[in-house]
Structure 1
Amino acid sequence: LMFRGSARAVAEAALTGGEPALAAFRLEVGRPVRPMLATSAPDVGAALEHLAGPAALEWKLDGIRVQVHRDGADVGVFTRSLDDITARVPEVVEAALALPVRSAVLDGEAIVLGPDGRPRPFQETAARTAARRDPERLRAEVPLSPHFFDLLHRDGEDLVDRPGRERWAALAEAVPAGLRVARTETGDREEALAFFRATLARGHEGVLVKDPAAGYRAGRRGAGWIKVKPRHTLDLVVLAAEWGSGRRQGFLSNLHLGARAGGEPGLGPWVMLGKTFKGLTDETLARQTEALLAREVERDAWTVRVRPELVVEIAFDGVQRSPRYPAGLALRFARVVRYRPDKNAAEADTVATVREIAVAEGTAAADEAARGDTGPGQPV
């Protein structure tokens, strides 16, 4: 979906014409690409050390990812899963049409803000962008604010391979400050921490630390983008769930949580990191039971195993060594933050990310995690 022409055509060009033939395949305005994703770091200092140089820090907004394509008077708005939501977000369309460009591909977030400019709960943004009826009424009641942080194409020129610093300069020329995500550039740890704290004080969920020299790696979790939040969170996939008891009788409650193996030998494709029933409201219990049963593949008296499709954001207090699980690691005090219908299983975090957190924490699991000495266990 990234380039003009089919995947087969791209492959044939590479085989027959080499690099000059591949150069003919370009980003096509109006055809969405998979967005670049970020890795995680436990704190700002670790992120700066990983990039080993001055970095750009941006607000990490708790909205939905939007990719906006404009070609003259035509505008398309797409989600991170490439769904077309143009008709549901007239504010985003109008913002794109007001820009001083003929054509553009922008990457950013759409978010519901309160009258004080602080972000509203993610569920409000998710519900607004999912609603298909009467977008003008919803716009008046629950207005969306677009904020852009990258520019992939402008007026016939593709920018995806340009360094981030050049793309951001082009973004600043094309997009007014009120529609751009706040950014600062520094290599100083204290300045970076001050920006991080100020971002949290405004109600945002964290920062993205970016390498100004990095290109845009569409569809990949590039090492040049690192997200930092004030608490540990991972995007994991539900592998199975156990029936609840007591007031949760009749509901699937205790979730089996899995990360992507990410190609690690002896693991995969999904690696279980623990279970949790914490953080689930009655409404979430009912909705997740319905969603999980629709994905059932097998069951026993206690557990329903499901297709690994539902992504859930999990907060946890740390990582500990555990020979019970395939990677030798388990999450401590895991709890559900929310389900992420805007993400698919291919975007879930990997075991490598969990190992990095363990090493950064200096936990008892750190040495084993760093060298992959996982102890006994079987792949999920």
Structure 2
Amino acid sequence: MLRSFEFCIPTRGTSVPDGPLWYHELKFDGYRLRLERDGDRVRLITKGGYDWTKRYPWIVESALKNRQKQFVIDGEAIIRGVDGYSDFTALHSGKHNAEVEMLAFDILAMDGDDLRNLPLSMRKTNLQRLLARRPEGIFVSDFEQGEIGPDLFRKACEFGFEGLVSKRSDRPYRGGRCPHWIKVKNRSHAAMSRKFE
């Protein structure tokens, strides 16, 4: 089951889509990760292809506590600051690796089945079921649907979030640059000045 799963990469946008088929997720400030579990084996793979399994033990422990023995999750490694928002400085320092959690926003495989051809709406349902009783260490990303997108983006900027990622709820998961995932960044956020993501 642990074959190659290419990351879906959002297309950068300048405005947030507002149609009824769009899901909108807050963009937390962290590192993109793919969590792969196959029996007692867990791996955390970065967008650049690095194995960070030993770096983030809380995520690994949480994955192993799940009753489901096979799954692949797409998400973001984050540290929550005292205000509840992600703290990229703490994450990047490497001094708090034991506190790093995974914000899960998609599921690519479960119980030996490849779920990537399912629409996002069904993948989200499967992800919710998988993580329903295991809130610590790995948690599901919240989202809003439809016309609320532009208003949600304005609020995200007000509260200092990195931006929004909007995704078509009726589309499959595809590796590489994807026109059905649109990332709109908060121009005043510190991430805008970084050379890496």
Q: Percent identity?
A: 30
User: Matched residues in 2 for 1:116 and 1:60: separation?
Assistant: 16
Note closer, same or farther for the CA distance 1:41–1:232 as it changes in structure 2 (3 Å cut). farther
1:124 equivalent in structure 2? 90
Out of 13, 16, 33, the residue aligned to residue 41 of structure 1 is 13
Tell me the CA shift for residue 99 of structure 1.
2.4
1:72 to 26, 32, 39: 39
1:181 aligns with 2:153: no
**C-alpha displacement of 1:113:** 1.5
**1:164 maps to 2:120:** yes
- Kept after mapping to 1: 8 A contact 2:15/2:150: no
Distance 1:193 1:160, change over 3 A: same
Counterparts in 2 of 1:229 and 1:34: CA distance versus 1, 3 Å: same
Q: How many Å apart are 1:84 and its aligned residue?
A: 0.4
Q: Aligned residue for 1:103?
A: 70
Partners of 1:152 and 1:232 lie apart in 2 by 33
In 1, Cα distance between equivalents of 2:51 and 2:173: 22
2:110 corresponding residue in structure 1 = 154
Gaps of 5+ in 2: none
Question: What is the count of residue pairs matched by the alignment?
Answer: 193
Alignment of 1:210-359 (within 5 A): 210-218=167-175, 220-231=176-187, 315=192, 337-340=193-196
Cα distance in 1 between the residues matched to 2:84 and 2:119: 31
Q: Deviations over 1:109-130 (max 9, x none)?
A: 011211221221x3432332xx
Distance 1:202 1:111 in 2: 17
Q: In structure 1, what is the equivalent of residue 150 of structure 2?
A: 193
- CA RMSD between the two structures: 2.3
Match of residue 250 from structure 1? none
**TM-score, normalised to structure 1's length?**
0.47
Q: Is the 8 A contact 1:111 1:119 kept in 2?
A: yes
Task: Name the CA distance, whole Å, in 2 between partners of 1:203 and 1:231.
Answer: 10
Compute the displacement of 1:232 (Å): 8.7
3-state DSSP of counterpart to 2:127: helix
Runs of at least 5 residues in structure 1 that lack an aligned partner in the other structure: 1-27, 132-137, 234-278, 280-312, 316-336, 343-380
TM-score, normalised relative to structure 2: 0.87
The Cα shift of 1:53 comes to: 4.2
Rounded to whole Å, the distance in 1 between the matches of 2:154 and 2:188 is: 16
Which is higher, the Rg of structure 1 or of structure 2? 1
CA distance in 2, matches of 1:83, 1:107: 15
SS in 1 for 2:129: helix
Given candidates 29, 39, 59, the residue that maps to 2:26 is 59
